Chains A and B, each alone.
Chain A
Amino acid sequence: MPLYICNAKAGAVPENAKAKIAEDVTRIHCEVTDAPPTFVHVFHFADGPMPPLGDKQVMLYGQIRHGRTDDQKAEIVSQMQASVVEHTGLAPEAVHVFTTDTPASWVMEGGDILPEPGEEDEWLERHNAKNHAKAK
């Protein structure tokens, strides 16, 4: 978590743009929130059921941890929309980006409940130490 789902009309996102968008989404999310990149999942779908496309060519939906500020969310939306527009050549009004909040305590990755926003460094230290001990 976060999980970003990029649903697009078939052909709207060129194959060679998918990795670039995923890279941008990961970078933007991490820069805005200080989350570690290993938390960020980006999955592309063509004509998928979720989120519904409506009159858009691309819908990018981020399920992010609860606790981000409105300014952070606005920054995420703005920068990610610009990335999709850049890599697809679509008009800005054809691309919609939105996020919803999920409590960190509802999610487990790598056997650990996700940290609250701002507690990632301590979480990663504990998590990596645990994995290191298991590997011995």
Chain B
Amino acid sequence: MSTCMCVVQEGQISAQTEEALRNDLVAFASQHFGYVPQFNWIVVGKGNGFTAAQPSNSVIVSMPADRKLPLSEREPLLRELGDIWINRSGLTGNEVVTVITDPPA
């Protein structure tokens, strides 16, 4: 089972937005990789997240592809994944880190 890991800061994403994001991410993974992901939704407690040594507003979203991707294919998928978060959460692009890994060997 493939897992989508979402690391968010406490108080950053409402329950309603989280549900919408999960639905969007299921649709994304289903469309591009042919699987429905399990979620590892991790909330960083207040005072526990730092970016550039300052309190963090960053989210990290990581999921595996179903195949090895060339950059020409990976880059637009990373952008689409980031846009999902920007559009749903209202975060800026600089606050969203997206990772699409190759499948485990």
- A residues at B contact (CB < 8 Å): 1, 3, 15, 18-19, 22-23, 26-27, 37-38, 40-45, 48, 102, 105-111, 113, 131
| Contact yes or no, B82 A43, CB < 8 A | no
**For the complex, is B16 an interface residue (Cβ under 8 Å from A)?**
no
Main secondary structure of the interface of A (DSSP, over half): mixed
Q: List chain A residues, Cβ under 8 A from B82.
A: 108, 111
**Number of contacting residues on B, CB 8 A?**
30
| Contact yes or no, A1 B78, CB < 8 A | no
Whose C-beta in chain A lies nearest to the C-beta of B48?
Answer: A44
| Contact yes or no, A26 B52, CB < 8 A | yes
Assuming the contacts A41-B58, A43-B7, A102-B99, asked whether A109 and B94 have C-beta atoms less than 8 A apart, the reply is yes
Q: List chain A residues, Cβ under 8 A from B52.
A: 26, 37-38, 40
Q: List chain B residues, Cβ under 8 A from A18.
A: 47-48, 50
Main secondary structure of the interface of B (DSSP, over half): mixed
Within 8 Å by CB of B99, from A43, A106, A131, lies: A106
Instruction: Compute how far the CA of A2 lies from the CA of B53 in the bound complex, rounded to whole angstroms.
Output: 13
Question: Closest 10 A-B residue pairs measured CB to CB?
Answer: A22-B50, A108-B78, A44-B48, A37-B52, A26-B53, A110-B94, A23-B53, A42-B50, A111-B93, A43-B44
| Contact yes or no, B99 A15, CB < 8 A | no
| Contact yes or no, B56 A41, CB < 8 A | yes
| Contact yes or no, B97 A40, CB < 8 A | no
- B residues at A contact (CB < 8 Å): 7, 42, 44-45, 47-53, 56, 58, 60, 71, 74-75, 78-79, 81-82, 93-94, 96-102
| Contact yes or no, B50 A37, CB < 8 A | no
| Contact yes or no, B94 A43, CB < 8 A | no
Q: What are 22 residue pairs bridging A and B, where the CB atoms are less than 8 Å apart in the complex?
A: A1-B97, A3-B97, A15-B47, A18-B50, A19-B53, A37-B52, A37-B53, A40-B53, A41-B49, A41-B56, A41-B60, A43-B44, A43-B48, A43-B49, A43-B50, A106-B74, A108-B78, A108-B98, A109-B96, A110-B96, A111-B93, A113-B78
| Contact yes or no, B53 A22, CB < 8 A | yes
Whose C-beta in chain A lies nearest to the C-beta of B59?
Answer: A41
| Contact yes or no, A3 B78, CB < 8 A | no
